[in-house]
Amino acid sequence: MKLRVLGCSGGIGGNLRTTSFLLDHDVLIDAGTGVGELSLTELAMIDHVFVTHSHLDHIAGLPLMIDSIGFMRDRPLTVYSSEETLDILKKHVFNWKVWPDFSEIPNAQQPYMRYQPISLGETVVLKGRKITAIPASHVVPAVGYQLDSGKASLVFTGDTTTNDALWKVVNKIKNLRYLIIETAFSNSERSLAVLSRHLCPSLLAEELAKFRRDAEVFITHLKPGEVELTMREIEDCVREPCPKMLLNNQVLEF
């Protein structure tokens, strides 16, 4: 399996793109503005989108993507997430007011898009690839995902804060190779991180102290303008396992 980073920033500006990862050629993990990195042909090849939560920086590319390539496909694009997140998308995005309801276009029998709820702990198997919803703790209903090729696994936490339930799951993954975890704010904004249920370097250090696997750790969701500061603070706060900054167009194989 290959995971290509299309976007991993907490905002936009210049070359910054918000959260979206392409798994192999046919699966998206989140659909932020990073989706715009793909060509029309690449977009049309995507069959599945796994959404962590409903915030705009993780779904902004989804409505435009479906509008752009729906007519090019012979089957619906499947959008997976928790029941609560799918309800938010139905009520507040694909509602004919913000954007058309592509689960009814061109008709309800042959739509461009379909919704598929996924429960915490549930695994979806796609051509031998296992994608499992894992716990996240955020201001809206949210999940992270474990991606398992059989040989190795990658965990993407999604947006989350202090979360003991996550580590109970992650520490049981024997073939874990990569952990992608967010750190949205610098330490001076710890109170904001707590309020918005994100992480800052000091909170990240507390969380990684619970981490028991031998895996590479990558930091995502850094806020524009604070990238260097936050990474310096992470270096000061976290001695092991020496997290690295996730980069646009980086490819992780597992």
pLDDT digits (tens, 9 = 90+) for 117-173: 999 999 999 999 999 999 999 999 999 999 999 999 999 999 999 999 999 999 999
* pLDDT at position 240 over 90: no
Q: Where are the beta strands (DSSP E) in the chain?
A: 2-7, 20-23, 27-31, 48-50, 77-81, 113-117, 123-126, 129-135, 143-148, 153-156, 176-182, 216-220, 244-245, 251-253
Q: From 23, 25, 16, select the one nearest 57 (Cα to Cα).
A: 16
Q: From 250, 182, 175, 244, select the one nearest 214 (Cα to Cα).
A: 175
CATH number, domain 2-253:
3.60.15.10
pLDDT digits (tens, 9 = 90+) for 206-239: 999 999 999 999 999 999 999 999 999 999 999 8
Q: What is the pLDDT of residue 182?
A: 98
Structure-token pair, residue 77: 């694009």
Q: From 5, 3, 29, 34, select the one nearest 18 (Cα to Cα).
A: 34
CA angle, 63 as apex, 60 and 67 as ends, to 5°?
A: 140
Q: From 115, 170, 120, 165, select the one nearest 143 (Cα to Cα).
A: 120
**What b-and-e string marks burial along 33-66, b requiring 16 or more CB atoms within 10 Å of the CB?**
bbbbbbeeeebbbbebbbbbbbbebbbbbbbebb
pTM comes to 0.97
pLDDT digits (tens, 9 = 90+) for 13-43: 999 999 999 999 999 999 999 999 999 999 9
Average pLDDT, the chain: 97
Q: Of all residues in the chain, what percent carry a pLDDT higher than 90?
A: 99
CA Rg, the chain, in Å?
A: 17
Domain boundaries, the chain: 2-253
Residue 142 and residue 201: Cα distance in Å, rounded?
21
